[in-house]
């Protein structure tokens, strides 16, 4: 007898297609090549940041366009790294049991290897702030969250994005960090120490986990569903507007008035200082003379902004937290960069996988970009070696000038290498080594 109730349930469309169970199929070609293309965009953006030109002016459209890759490319790379972690753990259909344990071990092995590789590259004396050791720590910190839902991961990303920058600024005034670094083996090996990786470096984990967790949330979604892509196409620009637009507005309402008030305070201090010192030659004053001066003119220091007086600062530059310039690590910069990352990812996935004949044509045209993205670790490390040889420690003792030409050479060389290598072998050299190193995970019970 036919179960009509069950048949009706099968035919009924889900109320929210974006939250409906994903279809029973493997990852689409659009997602694979789209993510590879996005990785290549991130890599070439970091190339630009390290060997490309810098604008000679500020506040113009030219300077704005030339500054675009700075900060945003590494943020895109980090977001994609978080997305890749979740894909290892099953993507929109999380693994359980033994497969999940094997995935966790794979991620942990990758984390340790990236930590070691990044530390070694930093110890070579490269002028580039190597991000790989930071990635190693990100991966380890991400393991407890590997099975969470997209919504929960997004909430955690927001929490790190809001609280992380404050914690990082509080650490800048800590006085015990030097003693900790003296006993940190990573520092002794010439790399970034644990405190640098966590809180005080260029890519501090406490703030940058916002990118990783955002990428993990994206990895939980099924990009094959149009509703998902449409939502992300709205969320990405909205976050970008919130971040960069909010920072611009706060600049007009908070930072500029605060800067003007500080300028007035400094001018008043300079005037009072000149009147108090007079014609005396302070360079020859003894410690006793300075002590007597401080006792007689104690009120002089009240004219300085509170944060400039020793012991009176809170450790947090609240006005500075409203900015969004590259690598400022503020909530506004994090939100803006996440918006850019989401927009790039969903745009390339849609273009290369969900636009019919246009997608097929785009995959042919962007084949060099896709090839670079499929071996992003290899080409990233290769460019560090290139900068070390050409700029940091050149054979001629002078080095080569960075700029548009060097950036173009690096990009073209990466695309040629990736295309040729991919025709011969499936994975890039370092990607193959990482895969080989994670094989013991299959023995996990």
Identify the pLDDT of residue 80.
96
Choice among 7-16, 142-151, 162-171, 209-218 with the minimum mean pLDDT: 7-16
DSSP letter string over 113-163? HHHHHHHHHHHTT-SS---HHHHHHHHHHHGGGTT--HHHHHHHHHHHHHH
Q: Give the confidence band of 39 by pLDDT, cuts at 50, 70, 90.
A: very high
Question: 189 with 119: CB under 8 angstroms?
Answer: yes
pLDDT tens for 342-384 read: 999 999 999 999 888 999 999 999 999 999 999 999 999 999 9
- pTM, two decimals, is 0.83
Burial of 439 (0-12, 13-18, 19+ CB in 10 A): exposed
CA 388/CA 399 separation, integer angstroms: 10
Q: Which single residue is written with the structure tokens 């070696």?
A: 385
Least confident interval from 82-86, 267-271, 284-288, 308-312: 308-312
Q: Return the percentage of the chain with pLDDT > 70, whole number.
A: 84
The predicted model gives 231-245 an average pLDDT of: 96
The number of angstroms, rounded, from the C-alpha of 290 to the middle of its chain's C-alpha atoms is 47
- Can you point out the beta strands (E) in 264-361? none
Q: Name every residue whose Cβ is closer than 8 Å to that of residue 418 and which is 6 or more positions away in sequence.
A: 368, 371, 372, 374, 375, 379, 428
C-alpha 435: how far from its chain's center? 24
Question: Helices 429-437 and 376-387: crossing angle, nearest 10°?
Answer: 120
Q: What is the pLDDT of residue 44?
A: 97
Kindly tell me if the per-residue pLDDT of 295 is higher than 70.
Answer: yes
The confidence score (pLDDT) of residue 171 equals: 83
DSSP3 helix / strand / coil % (the chain, rounded to 5): 75, 0, 25
Given this model, what pLDDT does residue 315 score? Answer: 65
Quick one: pLDDT at residue 370?
95
Q: Contact at 8 Å (CB) between 415 and 371?
A: yes
**55 contacts 67 by C-beta, under 8 angstroms:** yes
Is residue 300 pLDDT above 90, yes or no?
Answer: no
Q: Would you state the pLDDT for residue 141?
A: 97
pLDDT tens for residues 302-330? 666 655 544 444 567 888 898 888 999 99
* Phi (first) and psi of residue 191, to 5 degrees: -105, -170
Higher pLDDT, 203 or 18: 203
Contact by Cβ (8 Å): 159, 223:
no
């Amino acid at each position: 007898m036919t179960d009509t109730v069950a048949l009706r349930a099968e035919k009924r469309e889900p109320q929210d297609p974006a939250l409906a169970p994903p279809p029973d199929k493997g990852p689409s070609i659009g997602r694979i090549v789209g993510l590879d293309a996005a990785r290549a965009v991130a890599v070439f953006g970091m190339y630009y940041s390290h060997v490309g030109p810098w604008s000679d002016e500020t506040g113009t459209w030219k300077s704005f366009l030339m500054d675009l890759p700075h900060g945003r490319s590494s943020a895109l790379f980090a977001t994609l790294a978080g997305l890749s972690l979740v894909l290892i753990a099953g993507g929109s259909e999380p693994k359980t049991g033994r497969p999940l344990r094997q995935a966790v071990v794979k991620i942990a092995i990758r984390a340790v290897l990236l930590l070691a590789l990044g530390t070694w590259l930093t110890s070579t004396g490269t002028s580039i702030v190597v991000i790989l050791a930071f990635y190693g720590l990100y991966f380890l910190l991400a393991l407890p969250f590997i099975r969470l839902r997209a919504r929960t991961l997004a909430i955690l990303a927001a929490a790190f994005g809001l609280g992380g920058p404050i914690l990082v600024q509080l650490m800048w005034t800590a006085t015990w960090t030097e003693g900790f670094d003296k006993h940190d083996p990573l520092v002794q090996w010439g790399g970034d120490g644990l405190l640098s990786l966590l809180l005080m470096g260029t890519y501090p984990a406490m703030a940058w986990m916002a990118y990783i967790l955002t990428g993990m949330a994206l990895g939980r979604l099924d990009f094959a569903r149009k509703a998902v892509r449409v939502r992300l196409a709205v969320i990405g620009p909205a976050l970008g507007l919130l971040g960069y637009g909010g920072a611009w507005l706060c600049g007009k309402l908070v930072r500029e008035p605060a800067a003007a008030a500080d300028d007035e305070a400094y001018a008043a201090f300079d005037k009072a200082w000149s009147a108090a010192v007079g014609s005396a030659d302070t360079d020859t004053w003894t410690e006793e003379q300075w002590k007597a001066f401080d006792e007689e003119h104690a009120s002089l220091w009240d004219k300085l902004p509170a944060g400039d007086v020793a012991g009176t600062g809170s450790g947090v530059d609240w006005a500075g937290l409203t900015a969004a310039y590259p690598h400022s690590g503020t909530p506004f910069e994090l939100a803006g960069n996440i918006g850019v990352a989401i927009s790039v990812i969903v745009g390339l996935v849609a273009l290369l996988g969900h636009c019919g004949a246009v997608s097929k044509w785009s995959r042919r045209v962007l084949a060099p970009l896709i090839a670079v993205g499929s071996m992003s670790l290899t080409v990233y490390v290769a460019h560090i070696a290139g900068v070390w040889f050409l700029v940091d420690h050149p054979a001629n003792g002078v080095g080569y000038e960075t700029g548009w030409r060097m950036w173009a050479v690096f990009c073209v060389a990466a695309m040629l290498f990736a295309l040729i290598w991919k025709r011969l072998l499936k994975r890039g050299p370092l990607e193959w080594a990482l895969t080989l190193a994670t094989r013991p995970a299959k023995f996990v019970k």
